Chain A
Amino acid sequence: MDVSQYLEIFIDETQEHIQTLNDQLMIMEQEPENPDAINEIFRAAHSLKGMAGTMGYKRMQHLTHMMENVLSEIRNGKVGVSAMLADVLFQCLDAIEGYLANIQESADEGTEDNEAIIRQLNNILEADGQAEKEEEAQPAKEEAPKKEPEKIIFAEFEANAIREAFEKGMNVYDIQVVVEESCILKAARAFLVFKAIEENGEVMKSIPSVQDIEDEKFDFDFRVIVISKQSIDKVISAIKNVSEVKDASGVQITSYEEEKPKAPQTAAQPKQEAAKTEMAKTESQPQKKEEKKPASGGAAKAGGSKPVVNRSVRVDIEKLDVLMNLVSELIIAKNGLVSVSNTENGVISQGFNEQIEYLERVTTNLHESVMKVRMMPIETVTQKFPRMIRDLNKKLDKKMELTITGEDTELDRTVIDEIGDPLMHLLRNSADHGLEANSVRVQRGKPEIGQIRLDAYQDGNNVVIEVKDDGNGIDVEKVKNKALISGKITQEQADGMNDKEIIDLLFQPSFSTAEVVSDVSGRGVGLDVVKTKIEALGGDIEVKTKLGEGSNFIIRLPLTLAIIQALMVELGDEKYAISLGSIETIEDVMPDEIKYVQSKEVIHLRGMVIPIIRLDSVLDIVPAEEVPESYTVVIVKKGDKLAGLVVDRLIGQQEIVIKSLGKYINNNNIIGGATILGDGEVALILDANTLL
């Protein structure tokens, strides 16, 4: 049997179940008596077993089967939850992940038998004197009650088809198919049944509808109306050949009841309603029954995390990249039209301008939609962290808790793929270097259990991720000494550095303040890698720390990577773009409003003192000879810092496509990239973040 087309579904669902297992195991470890958690774990393990079996992954099936046996004992109260047990179950989880990784790579589960884990599972069972309970820990299967086939009422076109079939001397069968209750990928089974039928005839109608069957919206049976030349026995035996089909039976239809064309609604309604109530019945079946049938698609998904109707299409990220590039091209072309319409004298009719505006709206919406398609919640990355912290808990022998907020914050897929490792580094750092040992914490009057937080939120055109801990914070003196000893800085340099500059040393390659190098962290390959990675994504990282109170690593990432709204400004005869996301306001400032603080130019604006940056001198542009009547100052922000950029003229807001300058040009990142304007000219994009 060819199951390869279900491989993706299998991988997806397995991942989901692994995640459920992970989450629920964590809960179980905290609250050993929580029956919901144990039930969820059992269901997930059972589903995994069934799925692995369907797909022919014997080793994975065996392992999950053993897991299920142990879990069943726990559920029945025969085995208590202990730390050892939780450890073994976590090991199982890792082993399953290992299988999945192999399957993802080569569609094969690999040859690892994980005998050690299985032995441990066996030991647990034996300790309970239940080892011989080899066969199915799963409760006895319920016999699906044989339903009397309801009378089917055909719609007009269906009746026509049947009539036609009769005229051609074809047979019409009404076949009831029952799949096994342990069957996991029901939709896949149904699909194979349909395929088997289609080899012998044609499926004219199914109850529930094909769509519902594909969405697994059926219990364990469905009806199909088949038009075929073959005998009914042949069709039924073909169906029975599909594995995990429990039964198929049917009758030949000789007469049919046509829906009254006059009142199609009323005739169809009762049938539909009947189907609905039937479905409602299945869904609202008492909890008890669901427990017994963990295999049924809906029940396996923990806490209904998956919407009932999931209308989605899987798209290769590369295809989306192509789409994105095309959108970029379109925007450049549109900008070209806009600039033509602006330069051409009066001949352009109003209609033309209206159309341009319309085009502009469409391209902007198109861009936004494509961006949205590429967005994924950060949850996909953060969900593996609680487990990691749990393991660190044991490894470092420190009690700590991780709180994650803002998991639904969305980021571009490419960013999501890359951000996992840096975040992991930071969390490990917090756990290992940040938090003090529990005894020290108690001495210092802090709560015994260390707190680590990961907060994600959107801030304008950026997404901010903060990794905080309430540990010891960074000891600036210690960092300084370390840097001196290792020869990174000289004594004079050290004397001239402020705290922030010293903390920034941590981001340099091979710099670690951990006194003991552990396998968790302290090798000094952490923070510089984090920084490089985040900068490669167009983001930046900063640290806030207070000795004795904890530290906070703040990562700022751009929401979008390719297309942004920007303010175009002119300096001399050069044009620059500033991302709208970093602009706070635009002000007209009189020359005498510019004051000096510590011989630096600042302005006083609505109660805030804002430093002034003269872009012409930063960018080596020959400044205008005469002092203008007033300065145009663009106020930009980065986090809670503000600065005013003095520009000559504002051109206006524009949607721009970011293009890289390539890696040859090195200009300390003041220029974040370039964009092509409507007239083909190149304008550079100022990175306000590096100016601040």
Chain B
Amino acid sequence: MEENRIETEVETKQYIVVNVGIEQFGIDIKYVDNIVRMQKITRVPKAQDFFRGVINLRGEIIPVMSFRRKFGLEDDTFTDKTRIIILKPEQQDSIGIIVDMVKEVLTLEEEEIEKHAQDGKDEKSKYISAVGKNNGNLISLLNINGIIQKMI
């Protein structure tokens, strides 16, 4: 279904828009498996520092990372708006990512998406694939594979 839509209407893509700090980020909806409320995270000692630990999602153990830690921002403060977005990249295990809040689902047309210039030196710029423009707001679109690949 998803695939079809992308093929027939090449121009639009849907994104989940999340807030982290003062910025807005978009996650391609095809990677999103689930959005869950904040829950008890079991810390995993000696793991990479951007991992907050693992959660039990209906019997599955899912590692959860902090968006803020991954992007080198100020550490999370959990509120009742904090959400864990469960990403399911193709052919790979699920992974959770903590964001401050989920704002909306947004449909962007192709001309509203501007390819992001990759700055080879900055590790973090690889996490962003493009910038979306919507009603004057700028939304950084995440390169999910780029974020995950470094870990494996």
B61 within 8 A of A: yes
> Which chain B residue shows the least CB distance to A674?
B61
A82: shortest Cβ distance to chain B, in Å?
56
Residues of B within 8 A of A684 (CB): 42, 44-45, 54
Among A162-170, A172-180, A486-494, A664-672, the stretch that binds chain B is: A664-672
B44 adjacent to A662 (CB under 8 Å): no
Known: A667-B45, A671-B45. A661 touches B61 (CB 8 A): yes
A663 to B47, CA, bound (A): 11
Known: A674-B54, A680-B56, A681-B56. A665 touches B44 (CB 8 A): yes
Residues of A within 8 A of B25 (CB): none
A677 to B94, CA, bound (A): 21
> Which chain A residue shows the least CB distance to B152?
A663
B28: shortest Cβ distance to chain A, in Å?
19
Known: A664-B148, A665-B51, A681-B56. A618 touches B45 (CB 8 A): yes
A398: shortest Cβ distance to chain B, in Å?
43
A661 adjacent to B44 (CB under 8 Å): yes
Known: A681-B40, A682-B54. A664 touches B59 (CB 8 A): no
B1 within 8 A of A: no
A671 to B47, CA, bound (A): 10
Residues of B within 8 A of A666 (CB): 47-48, 151
| Per-position binary interface string of chain B over residues 51-71, scored 1 when its CB falls under 8 Å from any chain A CB and 0 otherwise | 101111001111101000000
Residues of A within 8 A of B51 (CB): 664-665
Interface of A is mostly: loop
A332 within 8 A of B: yes
Interface size in chain B (residues, C-beta < 8 A): 25
Residues of B within 8 A of A618 (CB): 45
Residues of B within 8 A of A674 (CB): 42, 54, 61
A659 to B62, CA, bound (A): 10
> Which chain B residue shows the least CB distance to A329?
B59
Name B residues whose Cβ lies closer than 8 Å to a Cβ of A: 40, 42-48, 51, 53-56, 59-63, 65, 93-95, 148, 151-152
A85 within 8 A of B: no
A664 adjacent to B151 (CB under 8 Å): yes
A614: shortest Cβ distance to chain B, in Å?
13
A328: shortest Cβ distance to chain B, in Å?
9
Known: A661-B63, A664-B93. A682 touches B42 (CB 8 A): yes
Residues of A within 8 A of B55 (CB): 682
> Which chain A residue shows the least CB distance to B46?
A667
A676 adjacent to B63 (CB under 8 Å): no
> Which chain A residue shows the least CB distance to B62?
A662
B61 adjacent to A667 (CB under 8 Å): no
| Per-position binary interface string of chain A over residues 670-692, scored 1 when its CB falls under 8 Å from any chain B CB and 0 otherwise | 11001010001111100000000
| Per-position binary interface string of chain A over residues 554-589, scored 1 when its CB falls under 8 Å from any chain B CB and 0 otherwise | 000000000000000000001000000000000000
B63 adjacent to A664 (CB under 8 Å): yes
Known: A662-B95, A664-B151. A681 touches B63 (CB 8 A): no
A354 within 8 A of B: no
A679: shortest Cβ distance to chain B, in Å?
10
Q: Given known contacts A660-B61, A680-B56, what 11 new A-B pairs fall within 8 Å (CB)? A: A661-B61, A662-B94, A662-B95, A663-B152, A665-B48, A666-B47, A668-B46, A670-B45, A681-B42, A681-B56, A682-B55
A574 to B95, CA, bound (A): 22
A619 within 8 A of B: yes
A618 to B47, CA, bound (A): 12
A519 within 8 A of B: no
Residues of B within 8 A of A316 (CB): none
A134 within 8 A of B: no
A625 to B29, CA, bound (A): 48
For window 492-538 of chain A, which residues contact chain B by CB distance below 8 Å?
none
A663 adjacent to B61 (CB under 8 Å): no
A667 adjacent to B62 (CB under 8 Å): no
Residues of A within 8 A of B53 (CB): 682
Known: A665-B51, A680-B56, A682-B55. A670 touches B63 (CB 8 A): no
B45 adjacent to A662 (CB under 8 Å): no
Known: A661-B54, A664-B151. A676 touches B59 (CB 8 A): yes
Residues of B within 8 A of A667 (CB): 44-47
Sorted nearest first, the 10 A-B pairs with minimum C-beta distance are: A667-B46, A619-B45, A682-B42, A662-B93, A659-B61, A667-B47, A665-B47, A674-B61, A664-B151, A665-B63
A662 to B40, CA, bound (A): 18
For window 610-644 of chain A, which residues contact chain B by CB distance below 8 Å?
618-621
B43, B46, B51, B148: residue with the most chain A Cβ atoms closer than 10 Å: B46
A668 to B56, CA, bound (A): 22
> Which chain B residue shows the least CB distance to A657?
B59
A666 to B46, CA, bound (A): 8
Known: A662-B93, A664-B93, A674-B54. A332 touches B46 (CB 8 A): no
